[in-house]
Amino acid sequence: MLSVVIIGAVLWGVLALVYFATVGHQSLDPVIQEGRFPFVVSYKLDGEIIRIEDVILVEYRRRRDPKFPITNRYWRTTLESTGRSPNFVILEYRNHPSARPEAEGRINSNSRVNIRISGDYFMGERWGQESPHIAYFELYEWQPRSFRSNNTILTAEQLQTYFGIELLEFEFNPRITNRFSLLERWRSK
């Protein structure tokens, strides 16, 4: 009886390994493969109002990892107006003091405030994708010739306090609900 249990467990393990090696958790094509997401961002910087109004285009592309027999999903994300990445730099500094209170006195090699947008988020991916946000990125020398970086999501209040940028509008269309798994596909038929 014990041998039957051991054989069953080994067989179950082999089947699970074959499943994840051929299908994997992200290998299925999504049901919805492209989307358009209008947005408006406006802010006031040095007395000037800057308004960005555009459409984020997201298109599904398959991507194979050469090391594994698993196909991962990749979302090509561009702006309708330019065909370029929808991530914007609002401010950029070189050799500037850090805006992070815990890093008082530190001079960064590169600092920037940017708008971060992920196509994965809009297309309903479930694994750790972030909604559109404004982030503060800094690169600094930690030891001689050894650099570190920080990326911090900012609130509108922090944006105003640390950088003098008043956020007026930050509106994006909502994300969609997409289906990826075999079970979800079966239920949708």
Instruction: Return the structure tokens found at 186.
Output: 């079966």
How far apart are the C-alpha atoms of 167 and 135, rounded to whole Å?
13
Does the predicted TM-score (pTM) go above 0.85? no
The answer on pLDDT for 26 being more than 50 is no
Q: What is the mean pLDDT of the chain?
A: 79
More confident residue, 22 or 156: 156
The answer on pLDDT for 30 being more than 90 is no
pLDDT at 168: 96
Of 46-50, 102-106, 123-127, minimum mean pLDDT range: 102-106
How far apart are the C-alpha atoms of 71 and 91, rounded to whole Å?
37
By the 10 Å C-beta count (0-12 exposed, 13-18 middle, 19+ buried), 97 is classed as middle
Q: HSE on the CB side for 151, CA within 13 Å?
A: 6
The answer on pLDDT for 185 being more than 70 is no
pLDDT at 91: 85
pLDDT at 35: 94
pLDDT at 181: 63
Q: Where are the domains of the chain?
A: 2-188
pLDDT at 143: 67
pLDDT at 189: 54
DSSP H or E stretch at residue 18: helix 2-22
pLDDT for 71-116, tens place per residue? 567 889 999 999 998 888 888 887 777 777 777 667 777 888 989 8
For residue 157, give every residue at least 6 positions away whose Cβ sits within 8 Å of its Cβ, in sequence order, or none.
none
The answer on pLDDT for 65 being more than 80 is no
